[in-house]
Amino acid sequence: MVGVHFLASTAVFALGDEALLFATGTDEPHRVAVHAGGILATASDGKRIVTGGDDGKVMATTGHGSSETIAADARHRWIDHVAIAPDGTVGWSAGKEAFAQSRRGEPRRLEAPSTVGGLAFAPKGLRLAIAHYNGVTLWFPNVEASPERLEWKGSHVDVTFSPDGRYLVTAMQEPTLHGWRLGDGKHMRMSGYTTKVRAMAWTADGKGLATSGAPQLIVWPFHGKDGPMGKEPRILAPAEHKVSTVACHPQKEVIATGYEDGLVLLVRAADGAEVLARHPDGSSVSALAWSADGTALAFGTEDGQAGVIALT
């Protein structure tokens, strides 16, 4: 399972092949083929799901199952990463090139210093963060100005903005996170993981960053003027197997935590209280998503198991 998102009350699972699987909870799930090959990346704004495929296409699919082509790479390169801005602008990458296209405009292109490792739009304004080797490039696609470069040695394989736009955090190829306070470029190094961090999610209040990468749920504090600098993370929900993915409740300080053995726990950030959401079955949880109202949690595993857990 590549990813899962909710469009209204419909859970949409991105399968390892060319299709999306729509599950409404009342009717039989149905498949919608959107690529002529595997789906490599997904993003959603709650209105549509944008996917990138190894067929070189960027597709947008609505809750009704209708799809449109956003872009088709002229060289048929894999679309490695996709992102959606608050205004609906879509970003994607192929190799060393990053692209951004508004709903009405033409695509803009920027060549990164190396292969793109991750994309993220800022929560306000049209600014795209492009992770790559030795740092991150910050690009305003609609402005004719040189992009800003944030440097830190190593391979940066994912990137996220804090909800207030004050911080930028990347996951590294090694088991650590790196961050910058954007106001002054101050560096933040967040270590202590046993494996590479593959999932990051911000808590509902925007003051905590929940992460995978250890046999516990690690939540870094981002309140106050210095964020996590000089502070220890909260270590929650220890288990026998490592955390594989995380998803934060849209309104409450609750974190859905998936583990490599298939276990899913709901963890309250304030005190670490746990509720069992899914028993382990031996297959790593690869995708988690909350419905917009927080009453349902969708999950997917590496061996193709999927489901929706009602929490009302």
Looking at residue 188, its amino acid is: M
Same domain, 212 and 275: yes
Same domain, 95 and 70: no
- pLDDT of 267 reads 98
Q: Please give the residue range of the domain that contains residue 162.
A: 84-191
Q: How confident is the model at residue 28 (pLDDT cuts 50, 70, 90)?
A: confident
Same domain, 102 and 63: no
- pLDDT of 209 reads 98
Question: Could you tell me if 141 and 105 are in contact, meaning their C-beta atoms sit under 8 angstroms apart?
Answer: no
Q: What is the pLDDT of residues 109-139, one digit of tens each?
A: 999 999 999 999 999 988 999 999 999 999 9
Domain contains 118: yes
Residue 300 CA to its chain's centroid (Å):
15
Domain contains 174: yes
Residues paired with residue 101 on neighbouring β-strands, in sequence order = 90
Same domain, 146 and 235: no
Domain contains 300: yes
Strands 90-94 and 274-278: unpaired
Q: Which of 245, 251, 244 is nearest to 295 (CA)?
A: 251
Phi then psi for residue 148, to 5 deg, are -90, 145
How many degrees, rounded to 5, is the angle at CA 277 between CA 267 and CA 204?
40
Please state, rounded to an integer, the average pLDDT across all residues of the chain.
96
Q: How confident is the model at residue 18 (pLDDT cuts 50, 70, 90)?
A: very high
The pTM assigned to this predicted structure is 0.96
Render 238-261 in DSSP notation, one character per residue.
Answer: --SS-EEEEEE-SSSSEEEEEETT
**Residue listed under structure tokens 């967040």:** 190
Same domain, 33 and 63: yes
Q: What is the pLDDT of residues 298-311, one digit of tens each?
A: 999 999 999 999 99
d(CA 243, CA 237): 9
Strands 67-72 and 81-84: unpaired
- pLDDT of 226 reads 86
- pLDDT of 225 reads 83
Same domain, 75 and 89: no
- pLDDT of 57 reads 98
Question: Could you tell me if 15 and 4 are in contact, meaning their C-beta atoms sit under 8 angstroms apart?
Answer: no
Among 129, 156, 191, identify where a domain stops: 191
Same domain, 109 and 178: yes
* Domain harbouring 91, CATH code: 2.120.10.30
* Domain harbouring 36, CATH code: 2.40.10
For the record, the structure tokens of 188 come out as 């933040």
Same domain, 177 and 141: yes
Q: What is the pLDDT of residues 236-249, one digit of tens each?
A: 999 999 999 999 99
Distances (CA, A) of 228 to 53, 207, 222, 260: 36, 10, 5, 27
- pLDDT of 215 reads 98
d(CA 185, CA 173): 21
Mean per-residue pLDDT, 160-184: 97
Give yes or no for residue 312 having a pLDDT over 80.
Answer: no
